[in-house]
Amino acid sequence: MFITTENEIVSLMPTSRWSRPDQLKGWLEEEERVALEPLLGTSLYAHLCREYERLRNIYGDITATTVKPTRKARLDPGQPYADVTERLDAIASKNPPHMHPAFPADDEEGDVPETDMQAIRLIRICQQIEFYLMLAHKAGMLTVSFNEGGGANRVSAEGYDPADDKEIDRLTKDSFMAAERATDSLLLFLEADAKGERQFTEKWQEADAFYLNRDLLFQTASVMQKFSTVRFRMDYVDMVHDIRFCQNTYLKPRVGARLLKAVVDFANGEATAEPHANPDTPLVMTELLEMLRMALGFYVECRRTELGPKKERLARRDSMTNAQQAMAMACDYIADHLDDLGEAAVDSPAWKTREEARRQQQWNQEHRQQAEERRRREASEQGRRKLFTAFPATHRTPELK
């Protein structure tokens, strides 16, 4: 678990006081299993659980203000604790550690290891997700207690005015929003790590929420945001199956499996230049990639269902119309640039159509002479028939008198 002490709970909700925080562990563990483990994957989740226990043994509670910055501070309990968020902001802004007042230059060797800092930051984001989701899902249960006889009482405390129903509803909505923001921060953090130090990437890539899908035209959420209304990374994770379905159902038959794979490889930067390749091919592939992504974005929009029935029907109709127009433009573009696309387009419908037209034209040229001779024979035969039928059937040679 990522939350085990009252200090960690209070650091996430400082306006509250929990008389028995241990009794929340069951609900917190439930949110870890339901929400966090699918996002992190089994390997990364197990790794972070071990890291949490190791870091707690070294630094104490995992909060924003309970990590001692240096070896000297760990040996001296009187030293002030450092704020982890300030330390991470200094790292993000590329400032040297000695520029931060909490990290003096004379003890730079004893500074908290960078790997520990990154693990602490990731664990704190996980704490936010599971705690705020627990509040959102269990706010009603937290406000009611049951007596031995089965009677239900409302929990209150002296010095506080009881919260009304609107405030509890507001708490639930705010908790959901906080959990959503924390989830987006988690995915952004892991995505940045995958593009940089790759401290957690090897374990995270086993999860369904891994940011990179190399078999799709929308490999990441940031790419899809340019062609769709997706705002959060989690929306992209939820729509990966729809993206894959639309790409295989609508695009692959119209483009061709081989050409579609070539475009995806080009988007991943994996395309290899063939000997004597056309120099215009990269530009053509770039334009085609943009067109196919636009069409795919509209097709995916057709499958979204968060609108009302009437608006949803109109939105689906408009999105499908736009998708068909974008797909037609892409197909026309492929037909106009088959020579630039080369062997990648041999299985596309446009290539097959052109090859059929070429075969028909070649056949017509090869058999043109035979067709002309056949037409001359038919014309001569028709002429003989006309000449023969010009005389009446009863014609007789007149007899001499």
Q: Which pLDDT tens digit goes with each residue over 226-237?
A: 888 777 888 888
320 and 181 in one domain?
no
Segment 162-178 shows an average pLDDT of 85
* Domain extent for 49: 6-67+112-144+162-195
Assess if residue 401 is contained within a domain: no
The larger pLDDT score, comparing residue 386 to residue 360, is at 360
Assess if residue 136 is contained within a domain: yes
Report the candidate in 131, 223, 129 with the shortest Cα–Cα distance to residue 181. Answer: 129
Coil, strand or helix at 381: helix
Q: 252: Cβ–Cβ under 8 A, 6 or more apart, which residues?
A: 260
Choose one of 303, 332, 347: the last residue of a domain: 347
pLDDT in tens, 243-271: 999 999 999 999 999 999 999 999 998 75
Report the pLDDT value the prediction gives residue 61, as an integer from 0 to 100. Answer: 82
Check residue 160 and report its DSSP letter: S
pLDDT band at 330 (very low <50, low <70, confident <90, very high): very high
Q: For residue 134, how far is the Cα from the chain centroid?
A: 26
Separation of alpha carbons 2 and 204, rounded Å: 17
Report the pLDDT value the prediction gives residue 247, as an integer from 0 to 100. Answer: 96
254 and 120 in one domain?
no
How many domains does one find in the chain? 2
Assess if residue 95 is contained within a domain: no
pLDDT band at 186 (very low <50, low <70, confident <90, very high): very high
189 and 231 in one domain?
no
Report the pLDDT value the prediction gives residue 81, as an integer from 0 to 100. Answer: 41
* Tally of helices (H runs) and strands (E runs) in the chain: 18, 2
Report the pLDDT value the prediction gives residue 72, as an integer from 0 to 100. Answer: 47
Report the candidate in 299, 330, 328, 329 with the shortest Cα–Cα distance to residue 316. Answer: 299
236 and 132 in one domain?
no
Separation of alpha carbons 156 and 144, rounded Å: 9
Assess if residue 56 is contained within a domain: yes
Report the candidate in 252, 249, 329 with the shortest Cα–Cα distance to residue 288. Answer: 329
Could you write out the DSSP letters of every residue in 158-209?
Answer: TTSPPP-HHHHHHHHHHHHHHHHHHHHHHHHHHHHHHHTT-SSHHHHTTSTT
pLDDT in tens, 267-281: 998 755 454 456 778
Assess if residue 235 is contained within a domain: yes
262 and 186 in one domain?
no
Assess if residue 286 is contained within a domain: yes
Report the pLDDT value the prediction gives residue 166, as an integer from 0 to 100. Answer: 83
244 and 310 in one domain?
yes
269 and 130 in one domain?
no
CA triple 3-8-11, angle to 5 deg: 140
Report the candidate in 297, 369, 302, 306 with the shortest Cα–Cα distance to residue 326. Answer: 297
Average pLDDT score over the chain: 79
Separation of alpha carbons 76 and 230, rounded Å: 49
Check residue 67 and report its DSSP letter: B
Report the pLDDT value the prediction gives residue 277, as an integer from 0 to 100. Answer: 55
178 and 275 in one domain?
no
